[in-house]
């Protein structure tokens, strides 16, 4: 495992990253994992959107600022939302807003060959950026059309080149989403900055998941293959709600213990 350095912080083991959109969740995660991501996945997770394209700067600022208040030990990562970095002027203006209001350690942007110029511009402005390649959710209207990348020789070469260009232009890390294990391994072995995977195998230098998926909070959605549930919050919370409802109906709650005299 390569020695990983991000902003003077070193990790000799694979990095862990989870999403947080609220102070209560961020407080649970802080110091227990390496990176906390305020992701634009909040669009579907919190707001019921079908994709991430409806996520606004205001949403990211509100959630990013709230999460920032409680994070003391983990590194803070913030997504730049859809259409906020289409050109160099907008990218820098919006990045500055996010940095001022939310104070993240790194910003994450979805990268294609055309967006490399944006990455370079932000890095030139002394902004720490994570390059997100492979499946880039902001480019999808319908998540059902998402496919795995890296299956063909051409895709493998293109992804490797994109990762290498990202490193060359100054990205602090590369996030690999939904790509084959052999492609993830190839990229990880051929760049010196860390790779963080989501649906990209154990060969990455770190892993990220959506916290709500980790605890099985939302059961209505079809779980992608890379999602692992570590705790069934939905079941436990459901039992607590049923118990509360029963006690209210039977007038067992509030008892004297929970009543002011």
User: Quick check: 176 pLDDT over 70?
Assistant: yes
- pTM for the complete prediction? 0.94
Between 225 and 156, whose confidence is greater?
156
User: Quick check: 224 pLDDT over 80?
Assistant: no
Coil, strand or helix at 198: strand
**Model confidence pLDDT, tens digit, residues 104-148:** 999 999 999 999 999 999 999 999 999 999 999 999 998 888 899
Please tell me the predicted confidence (pLDDT) of residue 240: 97
High-pLDDT (> 90) share of the chain, %: 88
User: Quick check: 251 pLDDT over 60?
Assistant: yes
Residue 4: closest CA among 135, 129, 188, 183: 188
Mean pLDDT on 189-196: 94
How far is the C-alpha of 60 from the C-alpha of 127, rounded, in Å? 17
Domain with CATH 3.20.20.60 in the chain: 4-230
Catalytic residues: 177
User: Quick check: 164 pLDDT over 80?
Assistant: yes
Please tell me the predicted confidence (pLDDT) of residue 1: 46
- The strand ranges marked E within the chain are 4-6, 9-11, 15-19, 35-38, 75-79, 106-110, 129-134, 173-177, 195-198, 206-209
**Model confidence pLDDT, tens digit, residues 41-87:** 999 999 999 999 999 999 999 999 999 999 999 999 999 999 999 99
Please tell me the predicted confidence (pLDDT) of residue 200: 97
How far is the C-alpha of 208 from the C-alpha of 74, rounded, in Å? 14
Mean pLDDT on 173-194: 97
Cα distances (angstroms) measured from residue 101 to each of 58, 63, 216: 10, 10, 31
Assess if CATH 3.90.1150.10 describes domain 4-230.
no
């Amino acid at each position: 495992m390569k020695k990983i350095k991000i902003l003077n912080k070193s990790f000799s083991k694979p990095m862990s990253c989870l999403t947080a959109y609220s102070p209560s969740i961020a407080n649970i995660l802080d110091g227990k994992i390496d990176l906390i991501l305020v992701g634009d996945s909040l669009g579907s997770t919190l707001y019921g959107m079908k994709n991430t394209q409806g996520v606004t700067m205001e949403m990211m600022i509100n959630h990013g600022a709230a999460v920032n208040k409680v994070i003391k030990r983990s590194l803070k990562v913030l997504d730049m939302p859809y259409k906020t970095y289409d050109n160099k002027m907008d990218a820098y203006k919006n990045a500055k807003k996010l940095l001022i209001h939310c104070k993240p350690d790194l910003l994450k942007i979805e990268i294609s060959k055309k967006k490399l110029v944006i990455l370079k511009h932000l890095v030139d402005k002394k902004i720490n950026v994570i390059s997100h390649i492979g499946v880039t959710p902001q480019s999808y209207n319908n998540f059902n059309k998402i496919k795995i990348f890296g299956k063909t020789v051409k895709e493998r070469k293109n992804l490797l080149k994109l990762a290498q260009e990202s490193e060359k232009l100054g990205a602090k890390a590369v996030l690999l989403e939904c790509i084959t294990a052999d492609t993830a391994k190839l990229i990880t072995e051929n760049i010196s900055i860390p790779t963080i995977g989501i649906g990209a195998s154990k060969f990455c230098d770190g892993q990220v998941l959506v916290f709500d998926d980790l605890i099985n909070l939302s059961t209505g959605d079809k779980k992608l293959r890379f999602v692992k549930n570590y705790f069934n919050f939905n079941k436990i919370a459901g039992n607590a709600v049923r118990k509360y409802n029963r006690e209210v109906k039977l007038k067992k709650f509030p008892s004297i213990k929970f009543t002011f005299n």
